[in-house]
Structure 1
Amino acid sequence: MEKPLLLILCTGNSCRSQMAEGFLKELADDLLTSQSAGLNPSAQVHPLAIKVMEEIGIDISHNYCKHLNLFIDKKIDTVITVCDHADQSCPALPAVVKRHHFSFPDPAEAKGTEAEKLQIFRRVRDDISKIMLAYIAGRRDALQYAQS
Structure 2
Amino acid sequence: MTRPTVLFVCVHNAGRSQMAAAFLQHLAGDRIEVLSAGSQPADQVNPVAVAAMAEVGVDIGARQPKVLTDAAVRQADVVVTMGCGDECPFFPGKRYEDWVLDDPAGQDLAAVRPIRDEIRRRVTALVADLDRGR
Q: TM-score, normalised by structure 2?
A: 0.91
Moved >4 Å (runs of 4+): none
State whether structure 2 residue 97 is matched by structure 1 residue 100. yes
Secondary structure of the equivalent of 1:60?
Answer: coil
Instruction: Please list every run of 5 or more consecutive structure 1 residues that lacks an aligned counterpart in the other structure.
Output: 111-116, 144-148
- Counterpart of 2:7? 7
* SS in structure 1 at match of 2:14: coil
Q: 1:135 maps to what in 2? A: 126
More displaced, 74-83 or 56-65? 74-83
Deviations, residues 15-73 of structure 1 (Å, cap 9, x unaligned): 00000001001011232111110000000001111111011011111211000127448
Considering only aligned residues, what root-mean-square deviation do their CA atoms show, in Å? 1.7
Report the equivalent of 1:50: 50
- The aligned runs of 1:61-72 (5 Å cut-off) are 61-69=61-69, 71-72=71-72
Shift of the 142–66 alpha-carbon distance from structure 1 to 2, 3 Å rule, reads same
Structure 1 residues 73 and 103 mapped into 2: Cα distance closer, same or farther (>3 Å)? closer
| Structure 2 unpaired stretches of 5+ | none
Corresponding residue number in structure 2 for 1:121: 112
Aligned residues: 134
Deviation at 1:108, TM superposition (A): 0.7
* Identical residues among aligned pairs (%): 34
User: How many angstroms apart in 2 are the aligned matches of 1:49 and 1:7?
Assistant: 19
So what's the TM-score if we normalise by structure 1?
Answer: 0.83
- Higher Rg of the two aligned structures: 1
Mapping of 1:16-95 within 5 angstroms? 16-69=16-69, 71-72=71-72, 75-83=75-83, 86-93=84-91, 95=92
Q: Distance in 2 between matches of 1:15 and 1:65?
A: 9
